Structure 1
Amino acid sequence: MEIPAELDTSTKAASCVSNNNCNDEDDEFKICVVCGDKATGFHFHAMTCEGCKGFFRRTVKMDLQFTCPFTSTCAITKKNRRHCQACRFQKCLQMGMRSNLIMSDEAVTARRERIKERKENQMLQDVETERMTLTPQQQERIDCLVKAHQTCFISNFPKFAILRDAPQQIEAFCSPSYLQPLSDVCSADPGQWRHMSYLDGQHSVSSSVITQMAELGTFMARQVINFAKEIPEFRLLLIEDQITLLKGSAFEVSQIVANMTFNTQTCMWDYGNDQFGIKDAFDVGCHLWFIEPVIKFHKNLRTLELSVAEYALMAALAIFAPDRPGLTNRDNIDQVQEEMAAILKGYINNTRSARDSRMLFPKLLSFLPELRSLSEIHGKQILLIQQEFWTPLLKEIFS
């Protein structure tokens, strides 16, 4: 087979030298045989650039007819290739481009779908390959977090009112007394909590939505503290770092937990005997610039249908944030957060389908900075709400 002049090695080499394009032997052949531009590969049986490939495809598919205004001997180069379409097309044919290799739109679509399917299947295979077996220590940590989550948040949701007569400060919760049973730390058993509940109508302020919201916020803050104390790595931190992490994460963890009760259809949170929604938020003085991103966050997170373990691990990730201002042992906290992230990824890979697990872990991580933004907005919003209704614990957390 006779090699066209355009593909002759010596010609290519000379062209490369003149254009300063040759860095190695392979580059000598990466030049479009039609116009001399940088080629991207073999297209329709010839080494061409993207421009000539597209031109040839359009011409054939649209059955375009060109006429050279000169003598049909125009030299086709990168700079003048658009000047004479007739000679450019003839050059394409002379260099071996075949019209019968151009696929129909349907064939192109089907080919793209096959390529996409192959890529997805390969990704799923990669996920299956990466599936990790959780170590006994990791499984033990998951069990610990799930138990704490169940005890602190799920079991106690219907009885969220707080004893205003005996407020517990953060320092008290972070003191060595956390080794005592939760009932001792709270200074009240569940019966007393129900008896003192502002939901039972025995207090004159029971009809005040803002008071109920303050009580719910205080309850959630208490339970976040209790939840954190159940994590061994948290108890090993300095008291000052414990307090800093709790103050920084109280709102974020509360939102993660509250998401379990969020109804995406009604945009309401169901807390046992009561429901709270957008109207209640307006009633207590919240602004639209705060309410809208909160609702958006809960809708997006709720659609993922997380398990209790996934919620608990997300809460732990929010607590162990090494970038909280004022921390003294950031490296240790950062290491714990990385370990929690590895456990979450391993749990997802082992409990979810390969297709779901491929995207769920990065999605969950993306919610953490979103929570941080919500927390900053909440800090501005909380200052505009009537603070005389705040409990001492809320004042301390959001001071």
Structure 2
Amino acid sequence: MTVSSVPLFPFWVGPDQQGRRAMKRNARLRCPFRKGTCEITRKTRRQCQACRLRKCLESGMRKEMIMSDAAVEQRRALIRRRRGERIGTRPPGARGLTEEQQAMIKELMAAQMKTFDTTFAHFKDFRLPEVLSSGCRIPESLQTPSGEEAAKWTRIREGLCSVKLSLQLRGDDGSVWNYTPPADSGGKEIFSLLPHMADMSTYMFKGIINFAKVISHFRDLPIEDQISLLKGASFELCQLRFNTVFNAETGTWECGRLSYCLEDPAGGFQQLLLEPVLKFHYMLKKLQLHKEEYVLMQAISLFSPDRPGVVQRSAVDQLQERFAVALKAYIECNRPQPAHRFLFLKIMAMLTELRSINAQHTQRLLHIQDIHPFATPLMRELFNLTDG
């Protein structure tokens, strides 16, 4: 004896309308509460089938309209067929995504492809550490400092994370150069890589600016808001892009012929995970995101209405919400459920964490730039840095 889950007929349609009940025609239903007068509402209609049927008949439903089991199965098959036909007319993987959302994702993917080359083939004019350029001998400029110079480098060390970064460069002829900062150089190992990292950051920031300019919604904003959004989000978008080339197994960012590896003096990854930036990269990589999810994260980060200096906050807020809704819809359509039912929440949590890291990063840059200017003109403009 079955009753379908179709909406209850008599309370939302008039007696002259042909509502239908799905149940066995000759079924004998009895009120389980032995009253026969149960109150039937939207919330209680499933509690007593007997009183529900009685109420339907009293409200004008014709008894001959009660569907047989065969008719119920026929109707369900028709619904399944029509649903399949609707799905078949959409592009693969686009189920549940509106045309607007598909267009937004398509535009973001095109912007990403146009402005971010994962082979880093165009990153050529960069400064290498002096040690890497001159061979294995440590030049005098990197020897252990003393006195006032040592105090300056101690302050710089305090402004940076404790994790050391090594660099590997592969030549066009197949040769390989490795550079690991000296262990006891009193802070000089930090300075030795700063110019190179400034060049790499500047290269990435230029790509991010071009990425934003390709997005139509960004171009529609006033130039003042465009500048404010880029100043606030450049570091975050840079980290999201770097994560796509991060190898979590080796702790290495594989940037074409350049590789950056984190050195762990403790001989394990547990200490490294205490560093916020590194922890962020490991956790984000663990989510195994699609390219579409990465670019939607970039858009959500870029269109943040609470960045300093943003005037049209309401318009930016609406854009951010539209990108967030598109991300949620994309996940629901392209990720198996329920295994990924919390992926959207995890991604939003990662963006919140990245926002916090961004603030810490800016303070570190200000601290180091004040002691020893190293930033490029673009970095100084984006982070409001001064030379000493």
The match for 2:377 is 392
Contact between 2:236 and 2:354, CA under 8 Å: does it hold in 1?
A: yes
Distance of aligned partners of 1:134 and 1:269 in 2 relative to their CA distance in 1, 3 Å threshold: same
Distance 1:253 1:290 in 2: 21
What letter is aligned with 1:209?
L
**Residue equivalent to 2:262:** 278
The one-letter amino acid of 1:277's match is: C
Q: Any unmatched runs of 5+ in structure 2? A: 1-93, 128-168, 173-178, 180-191, 265-270
Separation (CA, whole Å) in 2 of partners of 1:243 and 1:270: 30
- In 1, distance between residues paired with 2:201 and 2:255? 12
Does 2:299 align with 1:316? Answer: yes
Q: Distance in 1 between matches of 2:258 and 2:322?
A: 37
> Distance in 1 between the 2:274 and 2:231 partners?
21
Deviation for aligned residue 1:157: 2.3
Change in Cα spacing, 1:212 to 1:302, as seen in structure 2 (3 Å) is: same
* Deviation for aligned residue 1:163: 8.2
Partner of 1:232: 216
Aligned partner of residue 305 in structure 1, secondary structure: coil
The SS at the match of 1:324 is coil
Does 2:318 align with 1:335? yes
Q: Is the 8 A contact 2:126 2:196 kept in 1?
A: no
Quote the residue 1:55 is aligned against. none
TM-score scaled by structure 1?
Answer: 0.52
- Looking at structure 1, the residues matched to 377 and 125 of structure 2 have their Cα atoms a distance apart, in angstroms, of 11
Deviation at 1:148, TM superposition (A): 1.2
When normalised by structure 2's length, the TM-score is 0.54
- Tell me if structure 2 keeps the 8 A contact 1:241–1:327: yes
- Per-residue CA shift, 1:288-343, capped at 9, x if unaligned? 99981001100000001111110000000000001112111000000000000011
1:136 is matched with which residue: 99, 124, 148? 99
Partner of 1:265: 249
Correspondent of 1:147 among 96, 102, 110: 110
How many pairs align?
226
Aligned residue in 2 for 1:253 = 237
Q: Check conservation: 1:290, 1:377, Cα contact below 8 A.
A: no
Matched, 1:355 2:338: yes
In structure 2, distance between residues paired with 1:336 and 1:137: 12
Give aligned-pair identity as a percent. 42
Question: What SS does structure 1 have at the residue aligned with 2:254?
Answer: strand
Higher Cα Rg, which structure: 1
1:187 is aligned to none
Q: Distance in 2 between matches of 1:156 and 1:263?
A: 14
Determine the C-alpha separation between the residues in 2 that align with 1:304 and 1:289: 19
SS of equivalent to 2:311: coil
Maintained 8 Å contact 2:126/2:200: no
- Per-residue CA deviations over 1:44-77 (Å, capped at 9, x if unaligned) read xxxxxxxxxxxxxxxxxxxxxxxxxxxxxxxxxx
Task: Determine if contact 1:268/1:278 at 8 Å carries over to the other structure.
Answer: yes
User: What's the CA shift for 1:162?
Assistant: 5.0
1:142 Cα deviation after fit: 0.6
CA contact (8 A) 1:162 1:219 kept: no
Give the match for residue 290 of structure 2: 307
Question: For residues 257 and 157 of structure 1, what CA distance do their matches in structure 2 show?
Answer: 12
Check 1:291–1:319 CA distance in 2 against 1; reply closer, same or farther (3 A cut): farther
Q: What are the residue-to-residue correspondences of 1:23-42 with 2, within 5 Å?
A: none
AA partner of residue 263 (structure 1): N
CA positional deviation for 1:159? 2.7
Greater fraction of residues in helix: 1
**Distance of aligned partners of 1:240 and 1:365 in 2 relative to their CA distance in 1, 3 Å threshold:** same
User: Any idea what the Cα deviations from partners look like across 1:133-183, whole Å, max 9, x if unmatched?
Assistant: 11122111111111211221235623324589xxxxxxxxxxxxxxxxxxx
Partner of 1:295: 278
Q: Is the 8 A contact 1:290 1:378 kept in 2?
A: no
User: Contact 1:161 / 1:219 at 8 angstroms: preserved in 2?
Assistant: no
In 2, the alpha carbon distance for the partners of 1:155 and 1:268 equals 14
Determine if contact 2:171/2:257 at 8 Å carries over to the other structure. Answer: no
Change (3 A) 1:233 1:147: same
User: For 1:267 and 1:155, how far apart are their aligned partners in 2?
Assistant: 17
| Letter of the 1:140 counterpart | A
Rounded Cα–Cα distance in structure 1 between residues aligned with 2:114 and 2:366: 31
CA deviation profile, 1:354-383 (whole Å, cap 9, x unmatched): 123311011101111101110011011112
Q: Which amino acid aligns with 1:139?
A: Q
C-alpha distance in structure 2 between counterparts of 1:153 and 1:350, whole Å: 26
